[in-house]
Chains A and B, each alone.
Chain A
Amino acid sequence: MLLLSALSHSGAGPWLGTWPEWTTQLAQGVFVLGVFLYYRYQRSPLHGQAFIRLLRRLLTGPGLLALACMGLHLLERLMKDQPVFDSNGLFFTSIYTLNLGLFVVFLARTNYAWRALVLFRSSPRLQREWTVFEVLLGATLLFRLVGVNPPNYVGIPLVVLLGLYGIYLSGHQKWVAYLSQREKWRAVLLQSGLLFSVLVFVQYFRVTQVDPQLIAPQPQHAFLLLTAFFSAFYALMGLLVTFFNLPIADVIEQRRSEILRLQRLTQIIQRGQTTAEVYHILLESAVQTVKADAAWLDLDPGHSGVTAAAATQYFNLEPEQADALRARLQGHDLPEGEFITNDLHARIGFEGTTQHYRSLLQLPLRGLHFNYGMLYLLKVEPNTFDREDLSILQTFTSQAVLSIENLELVRTSLENQRTQEELKIASQVQDSLIPKNLPTDNWFDISSHSLAAKEVGGDFYDFLHLPGRRLAVIIGDVSGKGVTAAFHMAQMKGIFHSLMQENPLAKNERDKFPVPSRFMAQANAALTHCLEKSSFITSSLYIIDYEQGGFVFARAGHCHTLYYHALREEVFYFESQGLGLGIIRNESYEKHIKNQFYDYSPGDVMVIYTDGIVEARGGDGTAEYGEDRLKLRLEESYYQEADEIKDFILKDLNAFTHGHPIHDDQTLLVIKFKSAQPPPLA
């Protein structure tokens, strides 16, 4: 309004007197500045990636102003001949000023819409460049305001330079890439419309500028020229970029859809769908991506995790057709598996046949260790598959294989978890087989230790009180480790308890229970039928008679017994012969096992153990703990209580094996004979 009045007054309305020219200039300047600043600080017209919406609004908003401008111009032309308005340029100037105002609004809106597009996903550097552009434009406005009018030879190059800067900024058309093909067409139309609007304005001002009726002063020439130029040029550039992008739009769109399909495949992994679904989606995506006419997927029922019935999936193809093709392809596969046949008529094995489908692409589903199957895609036309298709499909198949392998991993990990639970139970059961309450009496002192290398182990020991102040002690080691060994260990415990039963037919008291060698022979016979061929058991059985102060034992291939003789103050290993159980599975075993009798004295110490102790690895990983080192430890600790001796040995063993995993079950029993007098028999 300010501008309008100021302009009107400046020349056309004599009834207002003559205002100096600078008022008009100032009013114009302030108006332009005001409008531009207003739009500058508006919210960015670009919401997300709604480029088309932005363009449409630009055209329906400021674009229509051009229509208004045209309308006013026509009105003015119509009125021109009317005498009322002919006399002075008042009406003409009013229209002109109004149009100028509309043009300024149009330019401001357009400029800041372009700003949003130029700065779309831009670098900070580009943002700084844009600010410089704005400041320079503002400066041109200022020049005119303060009345500095540089001579043409300075002004024109400056304006040209700024124009070039605008062209440089117009190069930033990144947003075009985000349009779909349809949107690109619409963008082309909208930008043409905008360009047309700019041309309407420019044409109007070009015509009116030379009109003799125009009394108003020149508008902010350089500024408007530059912004108009930038607006038009950016629209033109956008138009051209979009237009030349049109032919490749479908390629870009295809890539986008490939990415989407790949995403879908990836999401299926995360959702933990079934393998059958993964294969189905693979086939579907493959067909859609390369636009195949038919396809089938052969899966290997052994590996692919599908049933034999679901091992083949067809797309737009009869199983008989696939069978026929398969039969001809048989035996002509290339070693690497993936292969494009551009014309089936020419392929080996197809000579002289007429095929409905001429192009064939075959691709294996390659896993880490084996192929999951083979994918076949068919097209009617020859020469329709290329390396590009193959590489895209390879991405698909590897993604699918990854999903399958992931599903497999999830399945096995669940299974493992279940097995772990079972093993935990087995471990608890086995633990209950190991005696917790050691026999106690004032004649001896026993301490025990056992540790399995895995959840369950093959070592065992047990005690049994026999009538007549006797104690049976058994120790054993089943060859091998883990569950198999644990089963045999439980068996051996059962054999021990069933054989150590009182024989009511025995003639004398001492024969009521088997002597150790007899026990071993019977155990060997019992094991013949329940021990697998390559397994054996080593065992030692001691029957301690503490009324007589002696013991008898038999060693069936088990580790030598370590003994401290208190009277002689000597530590030694019992040297005795004896064959392990389950090695000879007939009557002749009895010849290989002997009893050994020994009288003990108070203070004697017996150390019984399994090979997990003496064969424990330490040092560089090959050194074994050994019998000698064990013997030395007993020499140093024989005077202590059984518990202390055991702890002393274990401490040394742990120091030796430090940092090495235990690779065999370990059992250690320490029995110390004591000098206490037996209580009088009741």
Chain B
Amino acid sequence: MKVTAQPSADTLTLLLDGELDASSAIVLDTELAKPDILNYRKVLVDCAKLSYISSAGLGVFISHLQRFQDANVKLVFFNMQEKVFNVFEILGLDALMTIVPSAAEAEAA
């Protein structure tokens, strides 16, 4: 699992590459727990190369969800593979998080 952060003016794009499971969740958590992440207006998560997400992986996003909402930072997922989207959907997260098909829509969101 590789997490690459690409900051721009008011947007931080996180590129996830690989399987997000209990061991790699720590890497992502460290990234999301950084205090200055709340200075961005939007955090975009590029899931194009995210091949699998476990409940521990979902847990990382869930644990930061409230914090992002409180700081008025928008969390947007895009380019999600169907298999991964299914996992979000079953848990009901699609109603709670912004998941869009493409980068363009993510920018616009």
Q: Which of A524-581 contact B (CB under 8 A)?
A: 533-536, 538, 556-560, 577-580
Query: How far apart are A240's CB and chain B's nearest CB, in angstroms?
Result: 71
Query: Inside 8 A of A611's CB, which chain B residues have their CB?
Result: 55
B58 at the binding interface (Cβ < 8 Å): yes
Q: How far is the CA of A585 from the CA of B69 in the complex (A)?
A: 13
Q: Is the interface of B mostly helix, strand, loop or mixed?
A: helix
Establish whether residues B96 and A583, one from each chain, have CB atoms under 8 Å apart when the complex forms. yes
Query: Inside 8 A of A577's CB, which chain B residues have their CB?
Result: 92, 95
Query: Inside 8 A of A559's CB, which chain B residues have their CB?
Result: 90
A224 at the binding interface (Cβ < 8 Å): no
A479 at the binding interface (Cβ < 8 Å): yes
- Give the residue name and chain of the B residue nearest to A559 (CB): B90
Interface size of A by CB at 8 A reads 26
Q: How far is the CA of A481 from the CA of B23 in the complex (A)?
A: 12
B22 at the binding interface (Cβ < 8 Å): yes
Interface size of B by CB at 8 A reads 21
- Return the contact of B55 from the options A479, A578, A585 (Cβ within 8 A): A479
Query: Inside 8 A of A480's CB, which chain B residues have their CB?
Result: 22, 55-56, 59
Query: Inside 8 A of A538's CB, which chain B residues have their CB?
Result: 90-91
- Give the residue name and chain of the A residue nearest to B25 (CB): A534
A70 at the binding interface (Cβ < 8 Å): no
A557 touching B92 in the complex, CB below 8 Å, given contacts A480-B22, A534-B63, A585-B66: yes
Query: Inside 8 A of B90's CB, which chain A residues have their CB?
Result: 538, 557-560
Query: How far apart are A476's CB and chain B's nearest CB, in angstroms?
Result: 12
Establish whether residues B95 and A583, one from each chain, have CB atoms under 8 Å apart when the complex forms. no
Query: How far apart are A156's CB and chain B's nearest CB, in angstroms?
Result: 90
A583 touching B92 in the complex, CB below 8 Å, given contacts A533-B63, A534-B62: yes
B3 at the binding interface (Cβ < 8 Å): no
Q: How far is the CA of A580 from the CA of B90 in the complex (A)?
A: 9
Q: Which of A621-641 contact B (CB under 8 A)?
A: 622, 624
Query: How far apart are A333's CB and chain B's nearest CB, in angstroms?
Result: 33
Query: How far apart are B19's CB and chain A's nearest CB, in angstroms?
Result: 9
Establish whether residues A534 and B92, one from each chain, have CB atoms under 8 Å apart when the complex forms. no
Q: Which of A618-672 contact B (CB under 8 A)?
A: 622, 624
A557 touching B91 in the complex, CB below 8 Å, given contacts A480-B22, A534-B62, A536-B62: yes
Please list the 10 inter-chain residue pairs (A to B) with the smallest Cβ-Cβ separation, ordered nearest first: A579-B92, A479-B55, A534-B59, A534-B63, A557-B91, A533-B63, A580-B91, A557-B92, A583-B62, A578-B92
List the interface of chain B (C-beta within 8 A of A).
22, 25, 29, 51-52, 55-56, 58-60, 62-63, 65-66, 83, 90-93, 95-96
Identify 5 residue pairs between A and B in the complex whose beta-carbon atoms are under 8 Å apart, listed by A's number: A479-B58, A480-B56, A556-B92, A557-B93, A580-B92
